[in-house]
Amino acid sequence: MNVAGIPNIASIILGLIIILLVVFEPLGLYGFWIRTKIYWKTWPF
């Protein structure tokens, strides 16, 4: 494995991150924040 391939792997990983984020967390960090807020508001339930 040589160093020259690293930018390509970076591009693969970046693409994967984009896809996985869109698939599993379409609202991004905001979705996480909403979930936290709802959890806090309705805490004992």
| Residues found near other proteins in the complex (CB under 8 A) | 5, 7-12, 14-19, 22-24, 26
Could you tell me the smallest distance in angstroms from the CB atom of residue 14 to other proteins? 6
Q: Which pair of structure tokens corresponds to residue 14?
A: 């970046």
Q: Which is nearer to other proteins, 15 or 39 (CB)?
A: 15
Could you tell me the smallest distance in angstroms from the CB atom of residue 26 to other proteins? 5
CA-to-CA distance for 16 and 36, rounded, in angstroms? 25
Q: Which is nearer to other proteins, 19 or 34 (CB)?
A: 19
Q: In this structure, how many other beta carbons lie within 10 angstroms of the beta carbon of residue 28? A: 10
What phi and psi, each to the nearest 5 degrees, are found at residue 42? -105, 35
